[in-house]
Amino acid sequence: MLAPMASPKIQFVCQNCGGAHPRWSGRCDACGEWNTLVEESPGTGVATGPGKPLKKGRVVALEPLNGDTRPEARTETKIAEFDRVIGGGLVPGSALLVGGDPGIGKSTLLMQVSAALAIHGHSVIYVSGEEAVAQVRLRAQRLGDAKAPVQLIAETNIENIITTLQANQKPALVVIDSIQTLWTDRVESAPGTVSQVRSSAQAMIRYAKQSGSAVVLVGHVTKEGQIAGPRVVEHMVDAVLYFEGEGGHHFRILRGVKNRFGPTDEIGVFEMSDVGLREVANPSELFLGDRQKAAPGAAVFAGIEGRRPVLVEIQALVAESTLGTPRRAVVGWDSARLSMILAVLEAHCGVRLGGHDVYLNVAGGYRISEPAADLAVAAALVSSLANKPLPDNSVFFGEVSLSGHLRPVSQAAGRLKEAGKLGFDQATYAKGSETVKRSGLRLNTITTLADLVVEIASTANEVLPQGGVTGT
């Protein structure tokens, strides 16, 4: 009598972190995310138990650390803003992951990059998993790149894609749009799951390393702004780029958050038009183009993105509140950091904002992450409360500590040089920053945030409103 066959073992895999669980639950124990567990076959290779015994490997030759190394020859795409972010051009055999919100312009950007490379004599293959060939051609016609010799494939099976790539001349660039649509026969799960995304990405990265072709993978973005799928994919690729932008603004920012062949935190700025993306060589002029001078609550911040100085206007509005709990609204900056600045202003500068609504906005939809913006934010807040415009020819930068003292920031010379180039002739920043020689600007170095409050209050035509500064 035959023994009954054992039922296949079931496991549930988190679509956010890839953690495997023996039973379903509403919350993943590994990453804490809710409603991310999906049933998958244990044979998919995600946190499975012991399988086939490992076959004997081969001996790999050891290489000395001090050997001769030639730098990789990069392939410039001729799109300067894109080349800036990736470190000067595409490195042969590299794998890049590009993420962004739906409709932000990822496909448009990569079509323009592909066309620019193809026009300059490089072989480019564009693999579309979401659109038909006719749809891709329509986009190319709209962008004016229909005559570019780019080869198109509309396919989602990873085995078919790699076989097609190997059957043709080695391309300089392969674009996969997008990685969430690919699937492989070796994994028994639906496209877009952790197993399929990881296996498909691994296959394309292996092809890039073996062939020497640069591969660009397009990734979807979750509601939290992170690239969807297992985070292990971001560790597998050589560079991770985010394409950002606000729906109500016409500019887009390509931001590098990881790059094994170049600097991180570099940005490229593009402007969306009816014929595609246009490069913006000087982002400061774009962000300050609509600035109204002599407006209370507006301060110009001299920031640094990667190696590029960027000037942007910070706008603040402080108004008396009729609510028991005043509003705190922030756009383009960290709300927790705003709360810290408000607490420092009240504790060490005597600026009472507990009964006021506070609104803070970074003009143009730009997002600031560096703490050097603390001083500019504080200046905008005090200016709005005092109803006194700040000097329209001045820039601010400096980090505020919890004690009310200012901490010096790096690359002060680059910030001041950019400010002078755009016509600013005065700068207020933290004392102790790097020595600046022949900047051409009137430099005002201050030690504490209270010094800034006193300067703004002393130049106001009227004293700060009741409930404003009580002492310094």
**Which of 103-117, 185-199, 207-221, 382-396 is predicted least confidently?**
185-199
Task: Please give the Cα distance from 96 to 237 (Å, whole number).
Answer: 6
Task: Please give the Cα distance from 222 to 220 (Å, whole number).
Answer: 7
Residue 334 has pLDDT above 80, yes or no: yes
Segment 127-155 shows an average pLDDT of 94
**Which of 2-11, 311-320, 398-407 is predicted least confidently?**
2-11
Task: Please give the Cα distance from 99 to 180 (Å, whole number).
Answer: 11
Tokens of 16: 């956010």
The larger pLDDT score, comparing residue 18 to residue 162, is at 162
Confidence at residue 219, expressed as pLDDT on a 0 to 100 scale = 87
Confidence at residue 213, expressed as pLDDT on a 0 to 100 scale = 95
The larger pLDDT score, comparing residue 190 to residue 253, is at 253
CATH placement of domain 286-459: 3.30.230.10
Return residue ranges of the chain for CATH 3.40.50.300: 80-281
DSSP element (H, E) containing 353 = none
Confidence at residue 279, expressed as pLDDT on a 0 to 100 scale = 92
Write down the pTM of the prediction: 0.78
The larger pLDDT score, comparing residue 177 to residue 18, is at 177
Residue 463 has pLDDT above 60, yes or no: no
Confidence at residue 436, expressed as pLDDT on a 0 to 100 scale = 66
Q: Which of 114, 157, 108, 161 is nearest to 135 (CA)?
A: 108
User: Is residue 291 exposed (0-12), middle (13-18) or buried (19+ Cβ within 10 Å)?
Assistant: middle
Confidence at residue 465, expressed as pLDDT on a 0 to 100 scale = 45
Model confidence at 133, pLDDT cuts 50, 70, 90, reads very high
Model confidence at 49, pLDDT cuts 50, 70, 90, reads very low
Segment 186-197 shows an average pLDDT of 83
Segment 400-424 shows an average pLDDT of 91
Confidence at residue 68, expressed as pLDDT on a 0 to 100 scale = 75
Confidence at residue 50, expressed as pLDDT on a 0 to 100 scale = 46
User: Is residue 106 exposed (0-12), middle (13-18) or buried (19+ Cβ within 10 Å)?
Assistant: buried
Segment 238-259 shows an average pLDDT of 86
Residue 4 has pLDDT above 60, yes or no: no
Q: Which of 236, 151, 224 is nearest to 200 (CA)?
A: 236
Confidence at residue 47, expressed as pLDDT on a 0 to 100 scale = 42
Q: Extract long-range pairs of 438-446: CB within 8 Å, 24+ residues apart.
A: 439/413, 441/416, 443/416, 446/398, 446/406
Confidence at residue 461, expressed as pLDDT on a 0 to 100 scale = 45
Confidence at residue 396, expressed as pLDDT on a 0 to 100 scale = 95
Confidence at residue 30, expressed as pLDDT on a 0 to 100 scale = 81
443 and 419 Cβ atoms separated by less than 8 Å: no
**Which of 4-13, 149-158, 260-269 is predicted least confidently?**
4-13
Tell the CATH topology of 80-281: Rossmann fold (3.40.50)
Residue 408 has pLDDT above 60, yes or no: yes
> Which residues pair with residue 271 across a beta bridge?
251, 278
- Give Cβ neighbours of residue 109 (< 8 Å, ≥ 6 apart): 82, 98, 243, 252, 254, 270, 277
Confidence at residue 16, expressed as pLDDT on a 0 to 100 scale = 72
The larger pLDDT score, comparing residue 228 to residue 189, is at 189
> What region does 93 belong to: left with phi over 0, alpha with psi -120 to 50, or beta?
left
pLDDT tens-digit series, residues 432-453: 877 666 567 888 999 999 999 9
Model confidence at 48, pLDDT cuts 50, 70, 90, reads very low
**Which of 115-119, 282-286, 421-425 is predicted least confidently?**
282-286
Return residue ranges of the chain for CATH 3.30.230.10: 286-459
String of DSSP letters for 51-118: -SPPPP--PPPP--TTS--PPPPPB--S-HHHHHHHTSSBPTT-EEEEEE-TTSSHHHHHHHHHHHHH
Model confidence at 467, pLDDT cuts 50, 70, 90, reads very low
Task: Please give the Cα distance from 373 to 386 (Å, whole number).
Answer: 20
If you average pLDDT over every residue of the chain, what do you get? 85
String of DSSP letters for 411-441: -HHHHHHHHHHTT--EEEEETTPPP--S--S
The larger pLDDT score, comparing residue 327 to residue 290, is at 327
